[in-house]
């Protein structure tokens, strides 16, 4: 008898399934769930952006674009990156439009990793980082950031994790799931070590637009860093365009060319209507981004203040749309807390342990929901804790 | 009147949802409840917050009788008081729900609510067009409301996101 499972590659067999999946399955069939488990904006993409995609279809723009994406879009991205984040990239040689930031991370990993290369991953982090490093044949070396440091990577920790095999540091700010934003000073401390050890940085800055107290500093804007940074961003979070699957990566020419080789074989190009939508988003969507950011900021203030009030300690996250409170006071593990909360009060959150080291003892609460939903969720969490 | 950023923020929040408690608003902007209530009271006293209202889709209520008309009114402004005097004479009628001075082809845009088209026709012919300063009127009846004050009636926009996602 054929053992079908044996057809599956060992690397994939050994891959841990996303812990988020379990909660999705649990919550998906329940009625009346208030969800703080969603990692995407509750805003619908601006109408002008949707309209631009419709128009592109009406005009019959349904063929492939250049592998790296529409040049017009890359030009806009270059302007946007320069104006917003003070980093200058050549749209012809250094920018690739990808299928979401996720694909950008994937091609970046595959473009740089030799078998056995070590990639330092800062946890808690987005669930795909470690699997993507491993799929590319690398070894993920994880660093656990601590709540007492507001989940910021400490330069000493980085120093200790570096070995002769270290190739790159993968870092995300503002962070999913902690919301932690690294300031220019924080980044400088990290960059000094990166430069000293001649490492590369893969910077996932998909939440760059969603920074609430101080403006986002791109790691590539720090002196000496652009030449050793693969900068990843996209339209999903800031422009509320998750389902369009449109991201981009910016990197020095040699690395960008390597990424493009993989991209052209594996993907050909990103979806054409989505690229026209993104073009419109950059040309006219900034006002909507500002308005959404304003709303997120108020909701962040509300949820953090409320969580602290009901006894779940929570640092103030500088960006993204997640609060990452400690649930240690309840004596439950993250998974127990999340599962019981869902069953007893019908509130969906994501247990912190699915985001790797340092996540245990915390839950991720997304505040990309209406104030009405947030107030209801807080009420139910309060009931749950008091019981 | 010059307002602080906090005061403006409270106005923006209340304009979207007047039902939010002062406690929630306080948390949203990082003040305490008393400070927030004090600011709201001040804004009310200054008539910057004029009043709170509820948007109702009366079309959904069976047998509800109601017609709305928008009337373009041309008037002769009076020396010294301009358009204000005639605007006042118009908005004092309880049938009138709004009066705006407009640029363009006519002067005042007047919204009138009544139980029937007949009732509104009577109001226009007997009350409005007989005013001394009114030169002409053009009446437009509303047939259906799709969107009002930023809210879509009968929106089919639901939250389609999956419940848990990375």
Q: What pLDDT, on a 0 to 100 scale, did the predictor assign at position B81?
A: 84
Quick one: tokens of A98? 């990808």
Residue B30: its chain A contacts at CB < 8 A? 301, 305
CA distance B89 to B96: 11
Q: What pLDDT, on a 0 to 100 scale, did the predictor assign at position A23?
A: 79
Conformation bin of residue B149: beta by default, left when phi > 0, alpha when psi is -120 to 50: left
DSSP A105-134: HHHHHHHHPPTT-EEEEEES--TTHHHHHH
Instruction: Give the global pTM.
Output: 0.92
Picking from A18, A302, A348, the nearest residue to B163 by CB comes out as A348
Residue A299: its chain B contacts at CB < 8 A? 28
Report pLDDT digits (tens) over B87-139.
999 999 999 999 999 999 999 999 999 999 999 999 999 999 999 999 999 99
Q: Alpha-carbon dihedral of residues A178, A183, A188, A190, nearest 10 degrees?
A: 0
CA distance A157 to A176: 20
**Of A129, A172, A126, which Cα lies nearest the Cα of A152?**
A172
Q: What pLDDT, on a 0 to 100 scale, did the predictor assign at position A25?
A: 83
Q: State the average pLDDT over residues B151-159.
A: 85
**Mean of pLDDT over chain A:** 96
The residue written with tokens 């509320």 in the block is: A240
CA distance A335 to B26: 32
Cα distance from B162 to chain A (closest Cα, Å)? 7
**Residue A170 CB-density burial (10 A; 0-12 exposed, 13-18 middle, 19+ buried):** buried
Conformation bin of residue B109: beta by default, left when phi > 0, alpha when psi is -120 to 50: beta
Q: What pLDDT, on a 0 to 100 scale, did the predictor assign at position A11?
A: 86
% of chain A with per-residue pLDDT over 70: 100
CA distance B139 to B95: 14
Find the helix packing angle between A286-309 and B5-16, rounded to 10°: 90
User: What pairs with residue A172 in β-bridges?
Assistant: A204
Picking from A40, A127, A306, the nearest residue to B27 by CB comes out as A306
Report pLDDT digits (tens) over A26-63.
888 889 999 999 999 999 999 999 999 999 999 999 99
% of chain B with per-residue pLDDT over 90: 83
**Mean of pLDDT over chain B:** 94
Residue A1 has pLDDT above 70, yes or no: no
Q: State the average pLDDT over residues A150-166.
A: 98
3-class secondary-structure state, position A281: helix
Residue A125: its chain B contacts at CB < 8 A? none
Residues near A191 by beta carbon (within 8 Å), at least 6 away in sequence: A201, A219, A222, A224, A225
User: What pairs with residue A203 in β-bridges?
Assistant: A171, A231
CA distance A119 to A100: 21
- Candidates B27, B32, B164, B165: best to mutate against A (most CBs of A within 10 A) is B164
User: Are B166 and A18 inside 8 Å of each other by CB?
Assistant: yes
Residue A18 has pLDDT above 80, yes or no: no
The CB-side HSE value for A50 (13 A sphere, CA atoms) comes to 9
Q: Evaluate whether A148 touches A180 at the Cβ level (below 8 Å).
A: no
User: Are A371 and B24 inside 8 Å of each other by CB?
Assistant: yes
CA distance B147 to B127: 30
Q: State the average pLDDT over residues A275-292.
A: 95
**Of A307, A321, A317, A313, which Cα lies nearest the Cα of A150?**
A317
Nearest chain B residue to A322 by CA distance is: B166
CA distance A183 to B105: 56
The CB-side HSE value for A368 (13 A sphere, CA atoms) comes to 33
Report pLDDT digits (tens) over A84-109.
999 999 999 999 999 999 999 999 99
Quick one: tokens of A130? 């470690």
**Of B46, B100, B112, B41, which Cα lies nearest the Cα of B75?**
B100
The residue written with tokens 């989940």 in the block is: A151
Cα distance from B9 to chain A (closest Cα, Å)? 9
User: Are A371 and B20 inside 8 Å of each other by CB?
Assistant: yes
Q: State the average pLDDT over residues A200-208.
A: 98
CA distance A227 to A256: 11
Quick one: tokens of A103? 């694909």
Residue A19 has pLDDT above 80, yes or no: no
3-class secondary-structure state, position A45: coil
Q: What pLDDT, on a 0 to 100 scale, did the predictor assign at position B155?
A: 83
Q: What pLDDT, on a 0 to 100 scale, did the predictor assign at position B165?
A: 86
**What phi, psi does B60 have (nearest 5°)?**
-85, -10
* B130 membership: H or E segment, kind and range: none
Q: What pLDDT, on a 0 to 100 scale, did the predictor assign at position A355?
A: 96
Q: Evaluate whether A140 touches A133 at the Cβ level (below 8 Å).
A: yes
Cα distance from A24 to chain B (closest Cα, Å)? 5
**Of A172, A210, A204, A275, which Cα lies nearest the Cα of A41?**
A210
Can you point out the beta strands (E) in A3-91? 34-35
Q: What pLDDT, on a 0 to 100 scale, did the predictor assign at position A110?
A: 98
Residue A299 in contact with partner chain B when CB distance is under 8 A: yes
User: Are B164 and A301 inside 8 Å of each other by CB?
Assistant: no
% of chain A with per-residue pLDDT over 90: 92
* CB proximity under 8 Å: A 30-49 to B: 33, 35, 37-40, 42, 44
- Candidates A16, A31, A38, A40: best to mutate against B (most CBs of B within 10 A) is A38
Residues near A215 by beta carbon (within 8 Å), at least 6 away in sequence: none
Residue B13: its chain A contacts at CB < 8 A? 298
Q: What pLDDT, on a 0 to 100 scale, did the predictor assign at position A137?
A: 95
Q: Evaluate whether A330 touches A361 at the Cβ level (below 8 Å).
A: no
3-class secondary-structure state, position B140: strand
User: Are A38 and B157 inside 8 Å of each other by CB?
Assistant: no
Residue A349 has pLDDT above 80, yes or no: yes
3-class secondary-structure state, position B135: strand
User: Are B163 and A33 inside 8 Å of each other by CB?
Assistant: yes
Q: What pLDDT, on a 0 to 100 scale, did the predictor assign at position B7?
A: 97
Across chain A, how many H-helices and E-strands are there?
Answer: 13, 12
User: Are B29 and A298 inside 8 Å of each other by CB?
Assistant: yes
CA distance B91 to B68: 15
Residue A24 in contact with partner chain B when CB distance is under 8 A: yes
Report pLDDT digits (tens) over B44-72.
999 999 999 999 999 899 999 899 999 99
Q: What pLDDT, on a 0 to 100 scale, did the predictor assign at position B78?
A: 85
């Amino acid at each position: 008898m054929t053992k079908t499972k044996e057809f599956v590659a060992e690397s994939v067999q050994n891959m841990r399934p996303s812990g988020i999946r379990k909660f999705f399955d649990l919550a998906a069939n329940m009625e009346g769930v208030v969800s703080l488990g969603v990692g995407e904006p509750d805003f619908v993409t601006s109408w002008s952006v949707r309209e631009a995609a419709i128009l592109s279809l009406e005009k019959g723009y349904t063929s492939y674009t250049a592998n790296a994406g529409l040049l017009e879009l890359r030009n806009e991205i270059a302007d946007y990156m320069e104006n917003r984040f003070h980093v200058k990239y050549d749209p012809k040689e250094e920018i690739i439009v990808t299928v979401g930031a996720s694909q950008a991370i994937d091609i970046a990993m595959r473009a740089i990793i030799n078998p056995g290369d070590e990639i330092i991953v800062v946890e808690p982090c987005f669930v795909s980082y470690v699997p993507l490093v491993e799929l590319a044949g690398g070894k993920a070396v994880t660093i656990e950031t601590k709540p007492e440091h507001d989940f910021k990577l400490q330069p000493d920790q980085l120093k200790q994790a570096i070995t002769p095999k270290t190739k790159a540091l993968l870092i995300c700010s503002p962070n999913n799931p902690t919301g932690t934003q690294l300031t220019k000073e924080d980044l400088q401390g990290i960059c000094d070590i990166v430069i000293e050890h001649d490492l590369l940085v893969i910077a996932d800055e998909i939440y760059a637009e969603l920074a609430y107290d101080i403006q986002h500093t791109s790691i590539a804007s720090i002196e000496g860093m652009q030449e050793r940074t693969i900068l990843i961003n996209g339209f999903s979070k800031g422009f509320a365009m998750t389902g369009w699957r449109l991201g981009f990566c910016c990197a020095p020419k040699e690395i960008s060319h390597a990424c493009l080789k993989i991209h052209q074989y594996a993907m050909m190009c990103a979806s054409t209507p989505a690229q026209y939508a993104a073009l419109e988003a950059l040309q006219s969507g900034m006002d909507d981004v500002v308005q959404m950011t304003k709303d997120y900021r108020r909701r962040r203030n509300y949820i953090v203040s409320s969580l602290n009030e009901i006894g779940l300690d929570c640092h103030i996250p500088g960006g993204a749309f997640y609060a990452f409170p400690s649930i240690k006071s309840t004596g439950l593990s993250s998974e127990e807390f999340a599962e019981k909360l869902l069953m007893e009060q019908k509130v969906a959150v994501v247990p912190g342990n699915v985001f790797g080291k340092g996540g245990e003892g915390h839950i991720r609460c997304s505040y990309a929901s209406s104030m009405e939903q947030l107030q209801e969720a807080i009420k139910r969490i309060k009931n749950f804790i008091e019981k | 009147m010059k307002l602080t950023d906090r005061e403006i923020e409270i106005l923006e929040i209340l304009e979207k949802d007047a039902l939010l408690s002062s406690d929630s608003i306080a948390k949203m902007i990082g003040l305490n409840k008393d400070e927030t209530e004090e600011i709201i009271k001040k804004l009310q006293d200054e008539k910057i917050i004029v009043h709170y209202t509820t948007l109702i889709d009366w079309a959904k209520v069976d047998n509800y009788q109601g017609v709305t008309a928008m009337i373009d009114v041309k008037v002769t402004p009076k020396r010294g008081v301009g358009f204000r005097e005639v605007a006042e004479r118009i908005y004092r009628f309880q049938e009138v729900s709004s009066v705006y001075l407009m640029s363009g082809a006519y002067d005042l845009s007047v919204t009138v609510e009544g139980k029937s088209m007949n009732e509104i026709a009577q109001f226009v012919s007997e009350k409005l067009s007989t005013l001394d300063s009114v030169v002409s009127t053009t009446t437009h009846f509303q047939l259906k409301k799709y969107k009002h004050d930023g809210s879509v009636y009968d929106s089919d926009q639901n939250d389609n996101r999956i419940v848990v996602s990375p």
